[in-house]
Amino acid sequence: MRLLVCDNYDEMSRRAAETLADRVTQKPDCVLGLATGSTPLGAYERLVTMVREGRLDLSRVTTVNLDEYRGLGEESDRSYVSFMRTHLFDGAGIPKEHTHFPDGTDPDSDHACRVYEEVLASVGRQDLQLLGLGRNGHIGFNEPGDAFIPGVHLVDLASSTIEANKRFFASEAEVPRQAYTMGMRAILAAKEILLIASGVDKADAVKAAFRGPVTPQVPASVLQLHPDVTVVVDQEAYSKCM
Ligand code: GLP
């Protein structure tokens, strides 16, 4: 695992965008695993700018997103599918039919999980999986627990996750209590993983995940077992590792 410490959020975002752009330039029809949350926004903005300036073509990539809230779909501007369209896909010219999410609106949760597992299998391994990091060490919505869960699954969100994500909703009461997430098998199947984390809020999680033991209590610690992981953090997120 490589750990790269940047001065600040902007530098972290620039490095993440450059890595993504480089992999797409090398393989224009690559499979990108993508993440939501505030952390990747700076990188996505840079990718959109590169596309607008004609320096990058993302029109042939296939994307698989990590997760989606149960009950939300493209008709909701709080869903992750809407988030990705707003912040990346529309501006970067990634066709809708190249993008994939768990179906948060499927009333049958077992079916939703099965279908997304099949989608992941048909798309194939991600050439690059981008990850953020939850304050409690989650990746995607793989929350701390007694075991790493391999497959796509429905998650009861941790109260700290609901608290952290309420800023995207009108109130905490509106944050869905459940979500679908890619499991650890598909995350670890990625050929290359790039995890980004910024801010002092993430410092405990960065330390626990990358300086502590591999444990399902800190889901991101499983990345220590992957052969090609780059962790890009800013000084604040790294501050407890020193
Ligand atoms: C969310 C997402 C994760 C994301 C994490 C951190 O709940 N499900 O994929 O990485 O929490 O979010 P943020 O980047 O906003 O801190």
pLDDT digits (tens, 9 = 90+) for 158-215: 999 999 999 999 999 999 999 999 999 999 999 999 999 999 999 999 999 999 999 9
Average pLDDT over every residue of 52-74? 98
> Which DSSP symbol is given to 234?
E
Instruction: Assess whether the C-beta atom of 132 lies below 6 angstroms from ligand 1.
Output: yes
Closest atom of ligand 1 relative to the 157 alpha carbon: 7
Q: What is the pLDDT of residue 242?
A: 86
Give the closest residue to 182 by CA, choosing from 98, 119, 135, 95: 119
CB within 8 Å of 18: residues ≥ 6 apart: none
Domain that holds residue 110: 2-241
Find tokens 């626990």 and name the residue.
Answer: 208
Give the CATH number of the domain where residue 186 resides.
3.40.50.1360
Instruction: Assess whether the C-beta atom of 134 lies below 6 angstroms from ligand 1.
Output: yes
Whole-number percent of the chain with pLDDT over 90: 100
Instruction: Assess whether the C-beta atom of 129 lies below 6 angstroms from ligand 1.
Output: no
**What are the phi and psi torsion angles at 127 (to 5°)?**
-70, -35
What is the spatial distance between Cα 89 and Cα 110, in angstroms, rounded to a whole number?
A: 28
- pTM of full prediction above 0.95: yes
Q: How many domains does the chain have?
A: 1
Give the closest residue to 185 by CA, choosing from 126, 100, 106, 111: 126
State whether the Cα torsion 221-198-236-193 is positive or negative.
positive
